Chain A
Amino acid sequence: MTTTIDDRVPVTVITGFLGSGKTTLVNRILTENHGRRIAVIENEFGEVGIDDALVLDAEEEIFEMNNGCICCTVRGDLIRILGALMRRRDKFDQILIETTGLADPAPVAQTFFVDDEIRDRLRLDAIVTVVDAAHVLDHLNEIKPEGVENESVEQVAFADRMLLNKTDLVSEEQLAAVENRLRSINRGAGIVRTQNAKVDLAQVLDIGAFDLQRVLTDDPAFLEQDDHQHDQSVSSVGFLIDGDVDVEKLNSWLGELLASKGVDIFRSKGILALAGQDRQYVFQGVHMLFDGTEGRPWGEQESRTNRMVFIGRHLDREALEAAFRACLVDA
């Protein structure tokens, strides 16, 4: 069996609401003796000045490729800084981006999909969202004026992993309630309980969380049917469907879906069995931007099961599943 070696630089994005413990986590990552050389890009001036660490300050440059459309918005500052960093590629092993507490994670994530040079050289490893156990429910439940996004909901929705921090400040019942709420928004992201952002760095760095295969290995129940939600809240929908996929039908459906619903679909991930292909096709998307590559070969005894996950607003499980089934060769 041949294995594709991905030698792109892994990038971890750390997000989280103000005061959740992001900077504590970054400082911990930079000071722990883990032997990795990490370049840090941060929005806010901090007192991070660690030997062997590159720390760059980024001033948010939101670039809307189409006026006002969040689907087409990237961070110009990140593209520029990442480009500058890659000219010093021999100085570090991975990159850490700390966003501000009010930053929208979408433009940060989308930045890794838009530029061919970035896509070729960097790999978005995971979006890690730090959550303040004592205050997150207030933030999540806050009613915003029409047209204004609730940043904390988006930060949870975009997460590949959540650090439920400051667990010492709340009761076990409150923790359970917070975890239920977080899972109702984003069922796929693993939750790690922490105090003072103290976490095994293997849970945060180079975890391949954008790799759905690894997510499913860690949590086989990820795609299980959840309670049907058909309201305006942010939720996740995942399904497993056997059979070979017709590429043309899939292109047509996904193209139309992401173009028309890209604003509401925050994240999409999938492992697909394309007709006539011996290898899995692995894709991930952020809003309407999307990228995919060949994955590992299907096993001889392995069922060719397609796995799809969507996280977003107004998701209609039945409609998504029916539309996907219509893309099968036998449909």
Chain B
Amino acid sequence: MNLVNPGNTTAAAPRASAAHLADLKDVVRSELELDTETTVLIQQLACAEPGCPPVETVVAVLGTSRRSWKFSTPTTDVTTAALRDVIAKYPRGREHDHDD
């Protein structure tokens, strides 16, 4: 049981379930046709450093072809459809989920 969750400063940012994380990782792997050796990382961050949004979700593929995508929302709010769309649009990664 994870009773304390300091990333959860506003009750709007609980941790995602293992099933949701697995679904998101499956999307990354299938969209990019990654092998099982390639590491996919999904992490919700709450950071008050300058330049960091209060809560965001980082989706990353590590290794030689490293790339990442960022969502300014908790992981629970990142849907498989949204992730699939972003990866299809920006297969080489994108640091922001909004138009600059």
Interface residue ranges, A against B (CB under 8 Å): 61, 63, 65-69, 71-72, 74, 76, 79-80, 83-84, 114-116, 120, 247, 250-252, 254-260, 262-263, 272, 274, 277, 281, 283, 285, 288, 290, 292-294
Contact = CB atoms under 8 A, between A and B. Distances in A.
A65 B43 contact: yes
B49 to A, nearest CB: 5
Contacts of B42: 116
A270 B39 CA distance: 31
A66 B52 contact: yes
Interface stretch (B26-34, B62-70, B80-88): B62-70
A69 B4 contact: no
A288 B4 contact: no
Contact of A255 (B8, B39, B62): B8
A224 B18 CA distance: 39
Given A67-B51, A247-B4, A256 B9 contact: yes
Nearest to A294: B1
Interface of B: 1-9, 18, 21, 37, 39, 41-43, 45-49, 51-52, 54, 56, 58, 60, 62-63, 66, 68
- Residue among A68, A79, A116, A258 with max Cβ neighbours from chain B (10 Å): A116
B52 A255 contact: no
Nearest to A259: B48
A274 B41 CA distance: 31
Contacts of B51: 66-69
Contact of A80 (B46, B52, B63): B63
Contacts of A256: 9, 48
Contacts of B43: 65, 72, 114-115
A63 B66 contact: yes
B9 A272 contact: no
A65 B49 contact: no
Contact of B4 (A63, A116, A251): A251
B48 A260 contact: yes
Given A76-B63, A252-B9, A256-B9, A66 B4 contact: no
Summarize B's interface: helix, strand, loop or mixed: loop
A306 to B, nearest CB: 12
28 contacts: A61-B63, A63-B41, A63-B66, A65-B45, A65-B60, A66-B47, A66-B49, A66-B52, A67-B51, A68-B51, A72-B43, A80-B39, A80-B62, A116-B42, A251-B4, A251-B5, A252-B9, A254-B6, A255-B7, A256-B9, A256-B48, A258-B46, A262-B48, A274-B4, A290-B7, A292-B2, A292-B3, A294-B3
Q: Which 8 A-B pairs have the closest CB atoms?
A: A255-B9, A76-B62, A254-B6, A255-B6, A259-B48, A260-B48, A65-B58, A69-B49
A273 to B, nearest CB: 12
A277 B3 contact: yes
A249 B4 CA distance: 10
A71 B49 contact: yes
Nearest to B57: A65
Contacts of B6: 251, 254-255, 257-259, 285, 290
Given A76-B63, A115-B41, A288 B46 contact: yes
B45 A66 contact: yes
Contact of A247 (B3, B48, B49, B58): B3
Contacts of A63: 41, 60, 62, 66
B48 A79 contact: no
Contacts of A292: 2-4
Contact of B46 (A116, A120, A259): A259
A100 to B, nearest CB: 19
Contacts of B21: 116
Contact of B41 (A114, A272, A277): A114
Contacts of A288: 7, 45-47
